[in-house]
Amino acid sequence: MLRTSIAGLLACVGLIASAAADEPGARYAVVVKKEVADGPWGKVVRALEAKHRGKTFAYGESPEEVRKEVGAYHPRYVCFVCRPTEDFPSFALTANAFCRKLDDDPYVDAIWGILTGYDEDQALEMVQAEPIAIRRAFTKTLGPWLDWVPEGDYVTEWTRDRGQLGEKSPTGAFSPRDGGPKSDADDARYVHDLLTRDRFDLIIGSGHGGHHNWMLMYPRGQGFLTAKQGQLTMTAPGVDLPLSASRPKVYWAVGNCLTGVVNSGRNGFQDSYALAWMKNGAKQYLGAVQSTWYELNWNMADWFLKQEGRWTFSESLFLLRQWSNYLLTENVVTGRDREGTEFTDGIFVLYGDPALEARVEKTRDPALTETLDVREDGDLVRMSYKVKVNFVGEGNKRTAEKYDGWRIFAYLLPFPITDAKVESTDFAKVVLPGETLIWDAGKGLKVGDERSVVFTAKRVRD
């Protein structure tokens, strides 16, 4: 019998590899159109195969042609390789549905992303990206999020709070202050100065956005960061400043509309905001391909930031999708809340290699202490999962005090399982769809509360 312990505090020593794509069992599927794979973009496909020991599934007209084959392969990662001329709002919905139908349950079956670029050479650079340790972040929204990273800078996006700034130092807590920009022009200059210093491993944007630009203030303003022909320019009344950067980073357009629309019928990829940032160091970009009015994506911080490096950027989006699907499947949300969850769940897209190791560098205790003890006997496994709450935040997010704390959460298992059976638990409900453990405490858990589950299953192998 083989026994391993997978602690929730793995990230305490900095950047580490979790169930990385090059480990046994973490299979990597490349899904690509045949004519793309057979042309100049074939070198991108071959690079992914080599880097992740992946398997390519080529289709003629629709990914649906290879869905059953991909499902039988049981990939942990699915990377869709697309030329920039793809209709991305449509393709994103196709990819999302594809990765929910690799088996018979309603949950997402793989961590997926779309790899693209202005051309095949830029896409190849994305494949070759090295792991990113997120130490310094810039946010134009929710300054207190900086308390979950070692250091960072904040500038308000709200016109009502104009002039508010903040920073997080490696030795102190986030501290907001007044005295910042008082006009759109000053705000544009200030943000331009911060971004051109090129010190950030993570950029977080919110407010109004479009295929080619980001409005710096919300709900309205005259300062914009605009993309044209792969170049970024900061503009405002009396301001016209080119912006360039090269530091490897991830970009999280958490509350922006449409910046994930790389290309569509009306908007060409040449002026894509997302692609321009990929030319300026972003190795992963997460954005929306439609206008969004609902805040589902904000809850991704519960995994990406508040677990202190336990999960990568792409794993965090995957776990958010599992969580939101539980809300829908178990009818936890109704009415307008349900409508917003269904809508938002399908429109956020990760661009880049979904297996890229991009995670926060640990700076404090995580919001949850999670541990998983695994005992294997051939293909049979027995897992013991425990969680303890260390932090409950404020605000309107579902894990905040307003909702009584942490009621529902999801944990990524180290390998896929089947035929799971719960032996014992003090959760109200546990769902084990194969890739994840989803728990529902029935009521919100507060600081100091603990829960656990013990289950058996079969490990999925070749």
Q: pLDDT tens per residue, the chain (462 residues)?
A: 444 444 443 433 333 334 444 444 489 999 999 999 999 999 999 999 999 999 999 999 999 999 999 999 999 999 999 999 999 999 999 999 999 999 988 899 999 999 999 999 999 999 999 999 999 999 999 999 999 999 999 999 999 999 999 999 999 999 899 999 999 999 999 999 999 999 999 999 998 999 999 999 999 999 999 999 999 999 999 999 999 999 999 999 988 889 999 998 788 899 999 999 999 999 999 999 988 888 788 899 999 999 999 999 999 999 999 999 999 999 999 999 899 888 888 889 999 999 999 999 999 999 999 999 999 988 899 999 999 999 998 776 778 888 889 999 999 999 999 999 999 999 999 999 999 999 999 999 999 999 999 999 999 876
Which element (helix H / strand E) includes 120?
Answer: helix 120-127
Looking at the structure, tell me whether residues 372 and 279 fall in a common domain: no
Residue 374 lies in a domain: yes
Q: Hey, is 198 helix, strand or coil? A: coil
Give the number of domains in the chain: 2
- The CATH number for 373's domain is 2.60.40.1170
* Closest alpha carbon to 439 in 383, 386, 369, 374: 386
Cβ count within 10 A of residue 74: 21
In a domain, 412, yes or no: yes
In a domain, 147, yes or no: yes
Same domain, 144 and 243: yes
Which tokens hold the place of 293?
A: 């009015």
Q: Show which of 328, 360, 392 is a domain's final residue.
A: 360
Q: Is residue 262 part of a domain?
A: yes
The verdict on 143 and 246 lying in the same domain is yes
* Residues of the domain holding 228: 132-290+353-360
Last residue of a domain, one of 317, 337, 360: 360
Residue 351 in contact with residue 285, Cβ under 8 Å? yes
DSSP 26-42: --EEEEEEHHHHTSTTH
The answer to whether the Cα torsion of 312, 94, 87, 119 is positive or negative is: positive
Query: Which position has the token pair 């058996």?
Result: 456
Query: 99 lies in a domain?
Result: no
**Are both 147 and 281 inside the same structural domain?**
yes
Q: Strand order of the sheet with strand 429-431?
A: 406-412, 436-445, 429-431
pLDDT score at 18: 40
Residues 273 and 411 both lie in one domain: no
Residue 76 placed within a domain: no
Identify whether residues 269 and 415 lie together within a single domain. no
Distance CA 14, CA 134 (A): 9
Answer whether 239's CB lies under 8 Å from 224's CB: no
Same domain, 136 and 270: yes
Which of 360, 388, 405 finishes a domain? 360
CA 36 to the chain's CA centroid: 26
CB neighbour list of residue 171: distance below 8 Å, 6 or more residues apart? none
pTM greater than the 0.85 cutoff:
yes
* Residue spans of alpha helices (H) in 138-243: 184-196
Give the pLDDT confidence score for residue 17 in this predicted structure.
37
Residue 46 within a domain: no
Count the residues in the chain.
Answer: 462
285 located within any domain: yes
